[in-house]
Amino acid sequence: MVKRADLQRDRFYKAAKKEGYRSRSAFKLVQIADKFEVIKAGDAVVDLGAAPGGWSEVAHELVGERGVVISVDVQPIAKIDGVMVVKSDITREEESITAIKAALVAQGRDAVDVVISDASPQLSGNRDFDQFRSFELSTSALNIASALLKKQGNFVAKIFQGSYYNQFYKSVKERFRETRAYSPAATRKRSAEVYVIGKGCR
Ligand SMILES: C[S@@+](CC[C@H](N)C(=O)[O-])C[C@H]1O[C@@H](n2cnc3c(N)ncnc32)[C@H](O)[C@@H]1O
């Protein structure tokens, strides 16, 4: 029997192919950006856990030619015109911050308007362990965002729902004026992931 979630997956997979995005995840950022207006033309955006690059493609479209997108991942990312790639493990926070700052300077910028993170751990099959690894990645994304974002900057990060979710949401709430949680329609129905959005870095 074809499950509704499979039909939905097909819908976004087909749409990603039609629009020329490299991942169906691209539509999650399209939906988040549309609903929460976190990225605007001219912004400097840092995309953490960016491979293969669907979110970076969307971010590049949103910031336009005056904007900057820096994509960070441990995996290689095939070239995207107008996007700078930094190979780094985001849990090595200081190293990542140094590398991102160097990339920013190379682009003639000194501050970041938006940090987005779709970073996910390799799934082990152990739900508690995977939730913890997701929490670690989201926390590193938040720490990197705290070091780089300008005042009033915005933040989006994926986290798996579970024991650590409330703690992460609270940490985002402490650092941003407005905090929301959202599951875009492009998220698979059986997925435990949720996106936490922080607007207006304190
Ligand atoms: C779901 S994919 C991201 C998809 C991407 N947003 C897109 O639209 O193409 C999750 C990514 O997180 C990356 N990742 C996992 N752990 C990481 C780490 N410690 N540092 C950097 N990237 C990491 C993985 O390599 C993977 O590429």
Q: Is 158 a catalytic residue?
A: yes
Residue 158 has a pLDDT of: 98
* Residues within a 6 A CB radius of ligand 1: 22-23, 25-26, 49-55, 73-75, 89-91, 118-121, 137
Instruction: Summarize pLDDT for 29-38 with one digit per residue, the tens.
Output: 999 999 999 9
What is the per-residue pLDDT across 61-80, written as a single tens digit (0 to 9) for each? 999 999 999 999 999 999 99
- SS3 category, 153: strand
**Rounded mean pLDDT of the chain?**
93
Per-residue pLDDT for 3 more than 60? no
Q: Which of 118, 137, 116 is nearest to 38 (CA)?
A: 116
- Could you tell me how many helices (H) and strands (E) the chain has, helices first? 6, 7
Note whether 90 and 72 are within 8 A (CB): yes
Interval 94-122 mean pLDDT: 97
Question: Average pLDDT in the 174-186 region?
Answer: 94
pLDDT for 1 equals 41
Pocket of ligand 1, candidates 73, 95, 130: which has the most ligand atoms within 8 Å of its Cβ, to mutate? 73
When divided into structural domains, the chain yields a total of 1
- Residue 90 CA: which ligand 1 atom is closest? 20
Q: Return the percentage of the chain with pLDDT > 90, whole number.
A: 85
The one catalytic residue among 14, 17, 87, 158: 158
Reported pTM: 0.93
Assign residue 146 the CATH number of its domain: 3.40.50.150
Task: Among 15-29, 31-45, 47-61, 139-153, name the one with the lowest average pLDDT.
Answer: 15-29
- DSSP for 57-92? HHHHHHH-TT-EEEEEESS-----TTEEEEE--TTS
Looking at residue 5, its pLDDT comes to 55
The alpha carbon of 50 and the centre of ligand 1 are apart by a number of angstroms equal to: 5
**Quick one: average pLDDT of 8-19?**
69
Report the alpha-carbon distance of residue 165 to residue 127 in Å, rounded. Answer: 13
Q: What is the pLDDT of residue 11?
A: 73
**Cα of 1 to ligand 1 centre, how many Å?**
32
**Ligand 1 closest atom vs CA 91:** 19
Instruction: Kindly indicate the confidence band of residue 2, based on its pLDDT and cuts at 50, 70 and 90.
Output: very low
Cβ atoms of 119 and 137 closer than 8 Å:
yes
Cα–ligand 1 centroid distance for 86 (angstroms) = 12
Q: Are 84 and 70 in contact (CB under 8 A)?
A: yes
> Which whole-number Å values give the CA distances from 185 to 26, 86, 92, in the listed order?
12, 29, 32
Q: Are 62 and 40 in contact (CB under 8 A)?
A: yes
Residue-range definition of the domain harbouring residue 88: 4-201
